[in-house]
Chains A and B, each alone.
Chain A
């Protein structure tokens, strides 16, 4: 398996623009997680899905953030409009059985909002 795939790997945009991050989980995994990592706050869980259904989005910072999982092999995280404080590395991870088994992380998307 190719592992968790994320795109783009790097994104530079201007404040106010829409940003869409993409993730392809490992085939057969039923959980998908979106994280954000910054120096100040470490690794934060934003939202997770089970069988394509959003289970807990309490980590999403505000209404500017939204996530979808239209099918088992694809998820998006959208920020609209983007702000400089959204600059971070965004990771997608997938697993079988949530936290009971190991999570496999993608390489991340490094986002810079100017």
Chain B
């Protein structure tokens, strides 16, 4: 079974800093990898989806990279803002592609 790990569990940075969130997975035979954001008391919102053939995906100040061979993905957030404060989760699909395995998330706090 795929295992997904996220480090660190929590991160606090001052506004304006660039930061990197990490995600690792045990089975490199993945179709894609997704990053989600969860605000307190809310559901998850998809941020970026990287296909297995891609190395990077960008959306605004967010950039996600994927290294399948090493079982790692990073989410880079540029010029962080207080509104970026949330929990960020990564997820990879199962071998059948029918379901996702989620990491435990990184709780990000951006201090004004």
Indicate if the CB atoms of B98 and A55 lie closer than 8 Å. yes
Contact flags (1/0) for B61-98 with A, using CB distance below 8 Å? Answer: 00000000000000000000000000001011110111
Report chain B residues within 8 Å CB of A56.
Answer: 98-99
Interface size bracket, A side: 20 to 34
Interface size bracket, B side: 20 to 34
- Tally of contacts, chain A with chain B, CB under 8 A: 64
State how many angstroms separate the Cβ of A87 from the closest Cβ of chain B: 15
State how many angstroms separate the Cβ of A23 from the closest Cβ of chain B: 11
**Which one, A12-20, A40-48, A67-75, A78-86, is touching chain B?**
A40-48
Report chain B residues within 8 Å CB of A48.
Answer: 98-99
Report chain B residues within 8 Å CB of A50.
Answer: 98
Given the known interface contacts A43-B89, A105-B43, the answer about A100 and B31 at a Cβ–Cβ threshold of 8 Å is yes
Indicate if the CB atoms of B105 and A42 lie closer than 8 Å. yes
Query: Which residues of A come within 8 Å of B, CB atoms?
Result: 4, 31, 33, 42-43, 45, 48, 50, 55-56, 91, 93, 97-108, 110
